[in-house]
Amino acid sequence: MADIALARASKMAPETARELRHARRLSVGARCALPVAVLLAIGFLAPMVAILAYSFATPRSFDVFRSFTLENFASLFDPTNTVWLSFAWSVGFALFTVAILAVIAYPIAYGLNAVFGRWAGFVSVLFVFPLFVSENVRLYGWVLFFIKNGVLDGTLKWLGFSGGPEVLYTPGVTLFGMAYTYLPFMLFPMTLGLALVPRDLVDAARDLGAGRLFIWREIELPLAMPGILIGMLLTFVLAVGATAEAKILGGQSIIVISHDIEIAFTYSQNWPLGSALAVVVSVFIAALTLVALSKLDLDRMLGRR
């Protein structure tokens, strides 16, 4: 034992020297990265700081940094304020979107992995291509699909049916639009998550007598869970902030929380109130994300691989 320790000690010296040199090199790198880091800090943090500061400013004023009041927050939590309705719609619809997408994306991700193997992740990125077209344009496309005498209604009439269902400008179609918009954000992590399940493990479980459902429950689902949860979290966070679906497809049949924030910043010209609302929503999402991520013990799930 002693001589091993000795051997290690004698080996230590050059290593420490190398480490020192390494540390010095890193600090050079850090220095080089400094301008970019500063720029990022300003670009990323400055708007956040502005929002936070505005949330404590006198309502309907621009007295940022010059006034301090909790009035904006107080008015948000005032029981007569119906803004909680918008918040409830946003959270509820986000949850529904996540649930729907989990059910829709799982078979797609499974199929992609089955067909494309290790290229599945790449193929699932192709689902992102619609994102290159503005979301509003794509949603207007759906309006043309669902509208009276539009694609769906027109085709059904041409085929001799009485016409399409009246779905446009309803909460239901809003949910459809959200599921449509956020599918790639669920699909990509989920596909990667499923790709994490080694083929051997499924074969081994089957060889040990397990049927399809048992394998899915005991092997595939737990091992793909990090990807699934990340997809769910991502989708949820994005969906809570969605406005275009409720506006364009839903015809504002419901008002979502980010629409309320937008109104505060535009027609109401109440930046402090809008900021306070943004801060409350951000804190809610951040807290939720942190809780979810702390529960999402990747090490444990992947067995520290």
Partner 1 sequence: MLQTLPAAAATDEAPPRPILQLVGVRKVFGGFAAVEGIDLDVREGEFLTIVGPSGSGKTTLLRMLAGMDQPSEGNITLRGELINDMPPNKRPTCLVFQSLALFPHKSVGENIAFALKVKGVDAATRKKRALELMRIVRLPDNYHDKNVMKCSGGERQRVALARAFAYDPEVLFFDEPLSALDYKLKKALEKELKDLHRETGKTFIYITHSLEEAMVMSDRIGVMRAGKLVQVGTPEEIYGAPVDRFVSEFVGEVNTLKMKRAGAEWHGVDVPGTFTLSPPKDGASLDEAFVVIRPEYMRFLAPGERADNQLTGTVYNEYSLGSRIQYQIRVGEKVMLAELSRARALAPGASAEVTIGWDAADAFTLGS
Partner 2 sequence: MAGISRRSMLQGMAAGAGALAAGPLLGTGSALAAREKELNILCWEGYNSAQVLDPFRSKTGATVKAESLTNDPTMINRLRAGEINTWDLINVNNPWARKVMLPEKLIKPLPKAEFEPFFAKMLPEFKWPYKWAMSEDGNDLLGMVQRFGPYSFVVNTDKVSRKTAEETGWDLFNDPALAGKYGILESDDWNVFNIFVVAGIDPFKVHTPEEMAKFEETAKRVFKGAKLIGDIASMNQALISGEIDLHLTGGTYSVSPARADGHPNLRAITPLKGPLAGGKGGISWIEVTSTVNNPNLSPLALDFLKYVQAPEVAHTVAFAEGTFNPVAQMGNKACFDLFTKEELDAIQWDSLEEEMARSVEYDIVPDYDKALDIMNAAKRLRG
86 is an interface residue for partner 2 by CB under 8 A: yes
Least separation in angstroms between CB 260 and partner 2? 7
215 is an interface residue for partner 2 by CB under 8 A: no
Residue 247: which residues within 8 A CB-CB, separation 6 or more?
Answer: 259
Angle at 130 between CA 153 and CA 183, to 5 degrees: 80
Least separation in angstroms between CB 257 and partner 2? 7
Query: In this structure, what DSSP letter does residue 147 have?
Result: S
152 is an interface residue for partner 2 by CB under 8 A: no
Residue placing its CB nearer to partner 1 in the complex, 148 or 217? 217
* Binding partner selected for residue 190 from partner 1, partner 2, none, CB under the kind-specific 5 to 8 Å limit: none
Least separation in angstroms between CB 292 and partner 1? 19
Among 4, 207, 294, 295, binds partner 1 (CB under 8 A): 207
Angle at 249 between CA 248 and CA 251, to 5 degrees: 70
305 is an interface residue for partner 1 by CB under 8 A: yes
How far apart (Å, rounded) are the C-alpha atoms in residues 238 and 35?
A: 30
Size of the site for partner 2 (CB under 8 A): 60
Do residues 191 and 120 make contact, with C-beta atoms less than 8 angstroms apart? yes
Residue placing its CB nearer to partner 1 in the complex, 177 or 189? 189
248 is an interface residue for partner 2 by CB under 8 A: yes
Do residues 171 and 277 make contact, with C-beta atoms less than 8 angstroms apart? no
Residue 251: which residues within 8 A CB-CB, separation 6 or more?
Answer: 168, 169, 170
81 is an interface residue for partner 2 by CB under 8 A: yes
Among 16, 27, 155, 252, binds partner 2 (CB under 8 A): 252
3 is an interface residue for partner 1 by CB under 8 A: no
Least separation in angstroms between CB 102 and partner 1? 20
Do residues 188 and 231 make contact, with C-beta atoms less than 8 angstroms apart? yes
How far apart (Å, rounded) are the C-alpha atoms in residues 276 and 32?
A: 37
Helix axis angle for 171-195 and 221-240, nearest 10°, is 140
How far apart (Å, rounded) are the C-alpha atoms in residues 121 and 119?
A: 5
**DSSP helix/strand/coil, 304:** coil
Q: Residues in the site for partner 2, rule: CB under 8 A?
A: 44, 46-48, 50-51, 54, 60, 62, 64, 81-83, 85-86, 89, 140, 143-144, 147-150, 168-169, 171, 237-238, 240-241, 243-244, 247-248, 251-255, 257-263, 265-271, 274-275, 278, 281-282, 285-286
Q: Residues in the site for partner 1, rule: CB under 8 A?
A: 198, 200-201, 203-211, 214, 218-219, 222-223, 300-305
